[in-house]
Structure 1
Amino acid sequence: MPSLFRRKRLMTVLIGFIILVTLIGYSTRDRSELSVPEKFLQDSVGWVQTVFHSPVQLVDNAYQNIQNMLNVYEQNEVLKTRLDEYKGLIQENQQLNKDNRDLRATLEKTESMRDYTPIQGTVIARSSDRWFEQMTINKGEEHGVEKDMAVITSEGMVGKIQSAGAFHSNVQLLSGFDESNKISSWVVREDEDNAFGLIEGYDSESGRLLLEGINLDEELEEGDVVMSTGLGGVFPSDLRIGTVDEVQNDRSGLTKTAYVEPFADLFDISHVMVVDRDMQPVSEEEQEEGDDQ
């Protein structure tokens, strides 16, 4: 009895093995179509793969989108930083170019005024409440600066030394001048004698200097150049001040007043020169020695 049972089991295993081999051979042969069970199995596997693949693909796409957004954000921050740096460089470059132009112009002006031996200085401070009246430069008595010396830029006169310390000085600007600060001046005209007048104040509304005391007989034109005469013992002669912009008769009717547009921009000053009319002119030998150096 046990022997018969073992035989049946052996036969069952053998038949199953034969069926398996048959199915393997049947499935591996070249066929144009799949069997119904194979189709069912393939479709079932495909459905299962689809069910599991869709959420995985969705999560993967969301992760990729988040990564891309983070990368774009980081790149945007880097670009903003670089843009700010470029803006700073552009502004710095513009300021350096302006300083370079000012220094070159100052140097050229210094060479053309060798008789006065100008003292070059830099503006280091301007108070907010007295911006239009006063500024401080980095030159003082130790550099040869004294009270009442004229202060100019490469464009023209801007004021005078109000007070001098050992290493710094305060400059009173032309825009802060009043009747107590006068500049003896000429109005230079073509083919005619110079017309005399006094710079005696500043019109804050129009931003022009007041040249007063001009003889009624003098005919002035717009654009006539105004320069210092050197009279009065304070300012050297031939310092450029400005140009005539408008002429009116005084209220008294005895003289004329000219409104003078300053050559120099009194509100944007970086580099100046202090000149003293009492300094001795540079001799030809000293000029040659300076040129050799």
Structure 2
Amino acid sequence: MSFFQKKRLFLLLIGMIVLVVLIGYSLTNRSQLTAPEQFVMDTVGWAQNTIQTPVKYVTGIFSNISELKNTFNENQLLKSKLSEYKSLVYDVQELKEENEQLRETLNKTDSINQYDTIQATVISRSPERWIEQITINKGTAHGVDTNMAVITAEGMIGKVQAVSNSASTVQLLTGFDQFNRISATISRDGKDIFGLIEEYDKETESLLFKIIEESDKDLEKDELVVSSGLGGLFPAGLPIGTVKDVIPDQYGLTRTALIKPAADMYDINHVIVVNREVSGEDAIQELEEDEE
């Protein structure tokens, strides 16, 4: 073995001994670190801190983005739920109002059961003739005929103008003119006041009630005007409207009352077609009473 090989082996042996000594020394419990150990620890700590700070920052950014995305998704979900809730509230309100209208219509049908009645629903309303006509889903197949009175739970709205097999056109009171008159009356204990509903005045939004026969007392506001049954078309006792005001003509000979329609002409969904003829059961009852 050459000198250089022996020297290399000797140095390797010395190095291993030094390494073992250092390892053993580092494993001992010491309160003070050597300068190399402090240098290594400080270097490693600084490197960790240097790397950890940007890593935490980037991680925080991605975490915030994820939270923002989750917040956005939750917000969209809440908006969708809120929209569904509002739609549900609206539907419930619509059903409630329709239910109340149907109940009122049924109650009105019961109150005029001496006449043949046909319940119907409005199926269309022309924008061009919004305040003049409506179309209902009952026709000749259901017993509807022209000139029959049409009412709601609130009062009269007009008459049947044209009829097909399964539908009918109703002329509203707001579309009446001097060629479509209704014999009407204001009932009083002493003497009734008779007159004619002649037309609808768009300026005052009132029916014009021309007084033919009246009592000595002046008309009072909110007095009820009903059909008299004398005209030959409409049954008696159907509410038409209430008195708003009374105006004399230019000669002071006759007076005309402004009548506020009892029914809302702009909100009509369910109607009752009233036949002037007395229903079968009531007719039999009247015959029996006549025979007695």
- The TM-score with structure 1 as length reference comes to 0.91
CA contact (8 A) 1:211 1:259 kept: yes
Which one-letter code corresponds to 1:195 in the other structure? I
Q: Does 1:166 align with 2:165?
A: yes
Q: CA deviation at 1:92?
A: 1.1
Which one-letter code corresponds to 2:195 in the other structure? G
Matches of 2:244 and 2:32 in 1, distance apart? Answer: 104
Matches of 1:41 and 1:284 in 2, distance apart? Answer: 117
**How many percent of aligned residue pairs carry the same amino acid?**
49
**Structure 1: gaps (5+ residues):** 287-293
Q: RMSD in angstroms over aligned alpha carbons?
A: 1.9
Aligned to 1:255: 254
Aligned to 1:35: 34
Q: CA deviation at 1:245?
A: 1.3
1:220 to 1:23, Cα distance in 2 relative to 1, 3 A: same
Greater shift in the superposed pair: 221-230 or 37-46: 37-46
Count of residue pairs brought into register by the alignment: 284
Matches of 1:211 and 1:106 in 2, distance apart? Answer: 26
Matches of 1:26 and 1:193 in 2, distance apart? Answer: 130
Q: CA deviation at 1:17?
A: 1.8
Aligned to 1:202: 200
Q: CA deviation at 1:36?
A: 1.8
Greater shift in the superposed pair: 23-32 or 158-167: 23-32
* Secondary structure class of the residue paired with 1:282: helix
CA contact (8 A) 1:207 1:261 kept: yes
For 1:59-84, what per-residue CA distance to the aligned partner results, in whole angstroms no more than 9, with x for missing partners?
Answer: 21111121112112211221222222
Matches of 1:238 and 1:70 in 2, distance apart? Answer: 68
Q: CA deviation at 1:149?
A: 0.3
Q: CA deviation at 1:205?
A: 2.7
Matches of 1:207 and 1:48 in 2, distance apart? Answer: 89
1:192 to 1:281, Cα distance in 2 relative to 1, 3 A: farther
Off by >3 Å, runs of 4+ in structure 1: 4-7, 214-218, 283-286
Matches of 2:73 and 2:135 in 1, distance apart? Answer: 47
Aligned to 2:209: 211
* Secondary structure class of the residue paired with 2:128: coil
For 1:247-283, what per-residue CA distance to the aligned partner results, in whole angstroms no more than 9, with x for missing partners?
Answer: 1112231111111111111100000000011243534
Matches of 1:15 and 1:285 in 2, distance apart? Answer: 136
Which one-letter code corresponds to 2:192 in the other structure? N
Which one-letter code corresponds to 2:194 in the other structure? F
Q: CA deviation at 1:215?
A: 4.5
For 1:74-119, what per-residue CA distance to the aligned partner results, in whole angstroms no more than 9, with x for missing partners?
Answer: 1122122222211211111111111100111111111111111210
Aligned to 1:289: none
Which one-letter code corresponds to 2:51 in the other structure? F
Q: CA deviation at 1:284?
A: 9.2
CA contact (8 A) 2:211 2:257 kept: no
Q: CA deviation at 1:174?
A: 0.6
Matches of 2:114 and 2:213 in 1, distance apart? Answer: 32
Matches of 2:194 and 2:138 in 1, distance apart? Answer: 33
Matches of 2:122 and 2:132 in 1, distance apart? Answer: 14
Matches of 1:47 and 1:128 in 2, distance apart? Answer: 82
Matches of 2:108 and 2:12 in 1, distance apart? Answer: 117
- The TM-score with structure 2 as length reference comes to 0.91
Which one-letter code corresponds to 2:68 in the other structure? M
**Structure 2: gaps (5+ residues):** 286-292
Aligned to 2:100: 101
CA contact (8 A) 1:110 1:117 kept: no
For 1:221-268, what per-residue CA distance to the aligned partner results, in whole angstroms no more than 9, with x for missing partners?
Answer: 011111000011110000011111111112231111111111111100
Matches of 1:107 and 1:257 in 2, distance apart? Answer: 34
Aligned to 1:192: 190
Matches of 1:64 and 1:209 in 2, distance apart? Answer: 72
Task: Give the alignment of 1:129-144 within 5 angstroms.
Answer: 129-144=128-143
Matches of 1:250 and 1:20 in 2, distance apart? Answer: 130
Matches of 1:73 and 1:99 in 2, distance apart? Answer: 39
CA contact (8 A) 1:214 1:257 kept: no
Q: Does 1:52 align with 2:16?
A: no
